Amino acid sequence: MTDERSLIEFITSQRWFGSKTREVTQATVVDRAILRAIDPPLELQLVETRFDTGTHETYQLLNSRDVDALGDPGQVRELVHMMRGGAKLPAGEGVVEFASAEGFAGFSQELRKARQISGEQSNSSVVFDDELILKVFRRLEAGINPELELLRFLTEHGFENIAQLAGWYSYAGGPMDATLGILQRFVPNGRDGWEAALDTISGGESEVFLADLRRLGEVTGKMHTLLGSDTSDTNFSPEEPSVESLGLLTASIDDEIESIFFELPDDNADLEPIRGRGEEVRERLRLWTQVGGIGRVIRNHGDFHLGQTLRADGEWVILDFEGEPARSLPERRRKRSPLRDVAGMLRSFAYVASATPVLRGVEPPAGWEQRARSEFLDGYRKTIDPTLVPAGPALDKLLAVFELEKAVYELRYELNNRPDWVRIPVAGIVRMLDEDLAT
């Protein structure tokens, strides 16, 4: 795909292309590296797409005879072999470097079967022999990808509730330094947490799942405790938040509230419970932020919800540490309160309760969402390092701030993408307005 028009047509037609509402005016291969010269050849290309606004994005292609090699996933097993061998290959301007996690280089088993994961939105993944999974990052940003950072840290520190890191490859020099892909252990027979929640409710087994949520809370607390435990690594050492940090957070949410509530469309009856209540929401936000101490800020998951978990062999596995895709890489690497992850998971329970009738045709048991929240929070409070979060009622208030931030984000998302679902964030905002937190 060396012809510019072919490049544009191919990239803009892919699910992983992230700017479908913008017009691509140029596409240029800004660097390339030959990964395999023998037949069939394999070439890595960094393609810069430019938009009519003057901005640009960079994407990774793995090209074989002008065809994307991931369409034939067996070809990309070469990437795994290069990770094992620690290969370092020259590109036109930079270098492509391959590395393996400790203990993986000696893994000599041949890879026989390969299959591509369908349905991914922003990356491309290939599973080898149901033992390893390679994730290729399509849109590239300068800097280390937080998923590589966090998986490497958690793997090296012995955290078992992840798909352990096996290897990675990256690009250095030239247009940018960037993480290109990661290799992890594959979790066979893993059951997606979101689907498990829906299935257990529709199958009349919700009590079993609710009990499992206490364990998910424990696993989350242990993960946060570990992520805040290494004071020798400046990228992970916990920090005392600045005096201004909560004020900046409040101002950011406040601006978002003002913007969204001012623009609420008139033709959606599901918005009536919050219409005209923007100032009330902002006042509640100001009340909650009078919390005093807010604990510490640490590296965290960044996009935590049931869809980022698997239930496998009676245990929880946490996935996808890239962070929210709409945020820039520096934002996704920023240290934040661990309660931001907790708020994301609590909002996920609200989505389950509201989505089950739509997706499964079954009403959840009375009080399901509140039970889910209670079980998860009980497990979390039991295992989180208490120095990382505020004590007593201050924890509930700060958690409410992050839940409100998430619900307002959800409101904007649903208005733009799924107007029929706006009642879910609306119900969350109404519940928070009616909630009387202890002082």
Tell me the pLDDT tens digit for each residue of 97-127: 999 998 775 555 678 888 888 877 789 999 9
Position 376 scores a pLDDT of 98
Position 379 scores a pLDDT of 98
d(CA 64, CA 45): 10
The pLDDT of residue 433 is above 70: yes
d(CA 437, CA 417): 32
Helical packing angle, 206-227 and 368-383, nearest 10°: 30
Out of 170-174, 232-236, 243-247, 277-281, least confident range: 243-247
What is the band of 26 on the pLDDT scale with cuts at 50, 70, 90? very high
Residues 6+ apart with CB under 8 A from 307: 192, 193, 194, 348
pLDDT tens-digit series, residues 142-190? 999 999 999 999 999 999 999 999 999 999 998 899 999 999 999 998 9
The pLDDT of residue 439 is above 50: no
Task: Write the burial class of residue 301 (CB in 10 Å: 0-12 exposed, 13-18 middle, 19+ buried).
Answer: buried
d(CA 424, CA 414): 9
Token digits of residue 24: 């691509």
What is the band of 369 on the pLDDT scale with cuts at 50, 70, 90? very high
Position 104 scores a pLDDT of 78
Q: Which of 361, 344, 363, 343 lies closest to 353, judged by CA?
A: 363
- Tell if the pTM clears 0.85, that is, is over it: yes
The pLDDT of residue 308 is above 90: yes
Residues 6+ apart with CB under 8 A from 121: 15, 16, 325
CA atoms within 13 A on the CB side of 379: 21
> Which domains can be identified in the chain, with CATH numbers?
26-185 (no CATH), 191-434 (3.90.1200.10)
Query: Would you give the DSSP letter of residue 173?
Result: E
Q: What is the mean pLDDT of the chain?
A: 91
The pLDDT of residue 292 is above 90: no
Q: Which of 323, 425, 350, 437 lies closest to 390, judged by CA?
A: 437
Position 223 scores a pLDDT of 98
d(CA 357, CA 427): 15
d(CA 428, CA 189): 33
What is the band of 243 on the pLDDT scale with cuts at 50, 70, 90? low
Position 438 scores a pLDDT of 46
Cβ–Cβ under 8 Å, residues 411 and 256: no
d(CA 229, CA 148): 18
Token digits of residue 209: 């799942």
119-124's contacts with Cβ under 8 Å and 24+ in sequence apart are: 119/15, 120/15, 120/16, 121/15, 121/16, 121/325, 122/16, 122/18, 122/325, 123/16, 124/16, 124/70
What is the band of 70 on the pLDDT scale with cuts at 50, 70, 90? confident
Position 107 scores a pLDDT of 55
Residues 6+ apart with CB under 8 A from 111: 77, 80, 128, 129, 132
Cβ–Cβ under 8 Å, residues 83 and 104: yes
- Beta strand ranges found along 297-438 (DSSP E): 309-312, 315-318
Give mean pLDDT, residues 326-333: 88
Position 2 scores a pLDDT of 61
- Structural element, H or E, at residue 124: strand 123-128
Query: Would you give the DSSP letter of residue 12?
Result: H
Query: Would you give the DSSP letter of residue 16?
Result: T
Order of strands across the sheet that contains 178-185 = 88-90, 94-100, 165-173, 178-185, 132-137, 123-128, 114-116
d(CA 212, CA 384): 18
Token digits of residue 369: 């969402």
Cβ–Cβ under 8 Å, residues 59 and 140: yes
Cβ–Cβ under 8 Å, residues 400 and 288: yes
Token digits of residue 57: 């994005």
Give mean pLDDT, residues 334-357: 95
